[in-house]
Structure 1
């Protein structure tokens, strides 16, 4: 039986080996990204371990999912940026930013299956220095319609399969953006079209999994979605991944960040 689930991976579960053998899974059916191809992609970390994905939207601001926000752990939160190499459990000084504030949407509904308002922000202690490998992503505007039928790109360090592990290299996968109606129908009304959009393939086999939460879904370089929830098994046929719709929260983002 399918069950709805958030795609979060807590730090105490980030094990990189099985029976002593290293395994390298990834976004379901993704491929390795190269440094600089997605300069906005970051790893949100607690105690040095990957928890969620996120995107750079300003020199001191990261966009992620609300369920990736643990306000009580702000002093143990960091953001890995400017590299495709996860370096899980390590905190390379040149690629790690300290966090000063964690903001969860005040109307986030942490209840299955809808998880409405699943959006959060991370404020960094010091501004990032932009270069070829560190850049903010463009955000969909409030009036932007869902780009139904277009090809989107999801990037993240999530599992390739259920009960897998995080990969070392950032993964990329192309997904089809569903129309609002198709998204609503695929999830039998549990995906709410005013706050959600869907991406995947009817036949399944590609998409998000555990560890991809908070990561960006872009279309032609503009972020339209934030990984929120899906059903198990990951990328199952008929059940596209569900994303928080950036256009719905554009004003909220501006009110909190000025961006």
Structure 2
């Protein structure tokens, strides 16, 4: 789990997919100079200078036809200036195979440092929420989730963070409708499995690695809401 920050302030999440690459939502960097963004890894409490934290700058941004009007292709890959040190607190996430989709009704985890509600502040500590994948009212190009029988969901500041199902990152937090945790409209995520070949081509082309062994993401977690 990564925190994207400007001047020490969190504004979006991200996922470490290789020691030199982080995946996030394209809209997170819309109108923002990448040179002003710091990627923070190994964080749990953003209001503390934790010894586990690693801070890296962005060297290059790879985008894939993002449409800011429709939020289609809401994904970018950030190449870091240096390589993250993988350890018990910072690990590389597993991605699905190209075209491998999660089943409807699957239990997944959304996480981030986004607001705790429409009119509530952002938390200091990393939050986690149990969600269920759905298709009702979901745009055909997205992966969507709801929290059954509760008004809960992702919120402002969670954008770019991962949706994890069975230990695999299937989605990137993209957009909400009807406010945070509307209880009616599902939360929408960019579908990672549509972009795996493109992601792998970037990693191969800019690291010299023919393959990468995806490892499970590790994070200390708390319940959201």
TM-score range, shorter chain: 0.7 to 0.9
Partner of 1:209: 155
Q: Which structure 1 residue ranges, 5 or more long, are not aligned?
A: 1-40
Q: Which structure 2 residue ranges, 5 or more long, are not aligned?
A: 205-211, 213-225
Superposed CA offset, 1:227-257 (max 9, x none): 0011132111221100000001111211222
Partner of 1:156: 112
Q: Provide the C-alpha distance between the structure 1 equivalents of 2:52 and 2:165, rounded to a whole number of angstroms.
A: 32
Superposed CA offset, 1:166-224 (max 9, x none): 2110000110011xxx2xx424xxx12xx311011353422100000000000111000
1:51 matched to 2:51? The reply is: no
Partner of 2:41: 81
Partner of 2:62: 103
Partner of 1:165: 121
Partner of 2:220: none
Q: Provide the C-alpha distance between the structure 1 equivalents of 2:100 and 2:151, rounded to a whole number of angstroms.
A: 28
Q: Provide the C-alpha distance between the structure 2 equivalents of 1:233 and 1:152, rounded to a whole number of angstroms.
A: 21
| Normalised TM-score (structure 1) | 0.73
How many residues were matched structurally? Answer: 205
Helix, strand or coil at the partner of 1:116: coil
Partner of 1:30: none
1:218 matched to 2:164? The reply is: yes
Ranked by relative contact order (alpha carbons within 8 Å, sequence separation 6 or more), the top structure is 1
Q: Provide the C-alpha distance between the structure 1 equivalents of 2:27 and 2:99, rounded to a whole number of angstroms.
A: 26
TM alignment of 1:1-259, pairs within 5 A: 41-70=1-30, 73-87=33-47, 94-105=53-64, 107-111=65-69, 114-178=70-134, 182=135, 185-187=136-138, 191-192=139-140, 195-258=141-204
Q: Provide the C-alpha distance between the structure 2 equivalents of 1:145 and 1:53, rounded to a whole number of angstroms.
A: 22
Q: Indicate the RMSD between aligned Cα atoms, in angstroms.
A: 2.1
| Normalised TM-score (structure 2) | 0.84
